[in-house]
Amino acid sequence: MSREQRIRIDQILRQPDPGPDGPRSVEQIRAGFRELMARMIVPHDRIRTEPTTLGGRPALRVEPTAEPSTGQPSTGEPGAGTILYFHGGGWVFGSPETALSLTGNLVARTGLPAYSLDYRLAPEHPFPAAIEDTLAAYRALLDHGADPAAIVFAGDSAGGGLAVTTCLAARDAGLPLPAAVLAFSPGTDATRTGESMDTKEGVDPIFTRAALEHTGAMYLAGADPRHPLLSPAVHADLTGLPPMLIQVGANEVLLDDSTRLAARASAAGVDVILDVTADVPHVFQCFAGVLDEADEALDRAALFLRQRVRAATAREVGRADVPR
């Protein structure tokens, strides 16, 4: 771990915005985010990508080209597992392309292919459009014969929140749930009542309460922020959800979105791991190749996903072998 690396990342994220004073337009927010994420390192030598569709929405198919442990050409069997990935961006900006440093690193480290979904964004398509799209994508995987025990949900920021709420929507729709949920710095409290919203103000190099409320209002569009699919960390019944790994940085105003989600999930009987890394910002994992903590966190995340897919598929095979 490098203190110098963490300081450098913090400085990069605090660079003044050259745009006009006051709240930025949606177009400016989206352009600025694309520019920032274009600077992230993507493991192009270990993945291949292909545009596709899933559940009626555009998606990016990301596949490994090398074994995660050897760097040799992949010999993984098709159907060994699938990551369904939801990108971040406050439900207002972002895309499968801006999340490729995260999706690509998970695919390269696990050997599992992924679908990264281009769900509809606010303000053009406010709540619940994004969840309708993510649930439709999951239904499409199931309809095409994918084993839910070999599917894992993953996402960052708003997409981390969607990984959780899509599970809730699937459960309530009577669908079988995926093997696991991986959430990087998930947004899980639209009420903004976590203490870290105030205690981490200024410490967080990316977000302020005002910025989050600016984009959050676009997504809510008048909806009650206490809705369970908007604030699962404080208002959802999490009973029955699959095992979860929540990774978050200690310097985030959204820290309590993760800590309270983990506490409620544990109280509901969910197998949950809360992984907090000191002195790092929101979705620090996207700085893989630059920040040691990012690579280490991605290694832990990849191990979790591989273990959950293996464990879930082994249970399914065991049940199938039981005489009836």
Among all residues, which ones are annotated catalytic?
A: 157, 252, 282
The enclosing H or E element of 37 equals helix 26-37
With b for 16 or more beta-carbon neighbours within 10 A and e for fewer, the 250-262 pattern comes to: ebbbbbbbbbbbb
Going from the C-alpha of 296 to that of each of 72, 129, 163, 174, 247, the distances in angstroms are 21, 34, 22, 36, 11
Tokens read off for 108: 């390269």
Phi/psi zone of residue 201: left (φ > 0), alpha (ψ -120 to 50 degrees), beta? beta
CA distance 167 to 12: 35
Q: Which of helix, strand or coil describes residue 259?
A: helix
For every residue of 188-257, DSSP letters joined together read: --TT---THHHHTTTT-SS--HHHHHHHHHHHHTT--TTSTTT-HHHH---TTPPPEEEEEETT-TTHHH
Tokens of 3: 């203190």
